[in-house]
Amino acid sequence: MRTLPISQVSDFLFHVAYRNHEPTMIVGEPGLGKTVVVEDFAKRIGAHLCGERLGQIESVDARGLPDVANGRTKWCPPENWPFKANAALFPQDRPIVFFLDEINGATSQGMFAIAMQVVNERRVGPHELLDNVIIVAAGNRESDRGVAQKMPTTCSNRLTWVEAGRDLEGWCLYMQDKYGPEKTALPIALYHFRMRHGGDLLYTFDPSRPDKAFSTGRTAEKAWRYYNDPDMPDSVKWAAMSGVIGEGPSTEAKAFVDVWSRITPIERIIAEPTKVKLAEEPSLQYAMTMHVSGHLSVTSIAPLTTYLNRMSPEFGILAWQLAVKRDKQLYTTKEFLAFAKKNRTVFVA
């Protein structure tokens, strides 16, 4: 099975689940954002999203309760499943993404049998799935101490599997797009600095350690939302961050806040891009890179590019990568085209 960064899993679903209409299975450690990816995929193709957590139901919940009509038993389909018997409850003019979350965390052999029939035959007992249903499943790895166990081979062999991997760049772009560069420049600088000087601080999950709080893409987003809450007292803020990403990562985050307090004001950089002293300390170099990247625009691009060109190429590349994703207008500027030409192995001008 191939591992793809979590940010690329949407493309995998588009080509396999949507274009080829094959049931797919996303597996990965807790907190990567598998559910968010499925939600984004559904929006991408204009689909109706529905689903079930198979680790929280029994087989009767899927097959439905029995009823008697004309002396015969019939099964009443659950209205939240996109069966043909429920056609009036679901759209017919667009795809339906049926998300089977925690599929490998089924509560019984009976639920595994239900999952197998859904994947293999697109039905549960007498209830057939609608023709416009796309099946997407997800679950944790068996080694992650989560809700997961070995799936019957008759079911797993009918799925097209992909393992979602850790993805710092994808998380940074997601956060920047959702919260803006001003609120995310600090954590993006921190995680890039740590990745190059000490290892991964964004993803600290270790199945061999029984930590209750650890950093993942999901918990880190919560932590920095706490940090940016203007009404939360500092003592509560740092306790909350520790409670969601763990004591170690929150302590390092607090230390990096002190680094961030020493960045040069952007107004001074714009006014004197050739005279402002460059940072020498690695952590401050990353902080300055994100600081400048967050302020790159068509109006400030000339002086800020002059400043970036004085830094090591790796910092300029990092700054531009995030800036052009945030502001597509930057792609057409002469400054970016010149930088892309100079670094053509990274950028396509």
pLDDT digits (tens, 9 = 90+) for 205-258: 887 776 789 999 999 999 999 999 999 999 999 999 999 999 999 999 999 999
- Residue 349 confidence (pLDDT): 43
**For residue range 262-278, what is the model confidence (pLDDT) as tens digits?**
999 999 999 999 999 99
Report d(CA 158, CA 23) in Å as an integer. 7
Q: Reduced to 3 DSSP states, what percent helix, strand and coil does the chain have, rounded to the nearest 5?
A: 55, 15, 35
Q: What is the pLDDT of residue 144?
A: 62
* HSE-CB of 99 using CA atoms within 13 angstroms: 21
The answer to whether the beta carbons of residues 201 and 215 sit under 8 Å apart is: yes
Locate CATH 3.40.50.300 in the chain: 3-165
> Which residue stretches of the chain have pLDDT < 70?
106-107, 142-149, 210, 345-349
Radius of gyration for the chain, computed over Cα atoms and rounded to the nearest angstrom: 24
Which position has the token pair 């806040």?
Answer: 257
Q: How far apart are CA 292 and CA 304, in angstroms?
A: 7
Would you say 24 and 66 are in contact if contact means Cβ atoms under 8 Å apart?
no
CATH 3.40.50.300 fits 3-165, yes or no: yes
pTM: 0.82
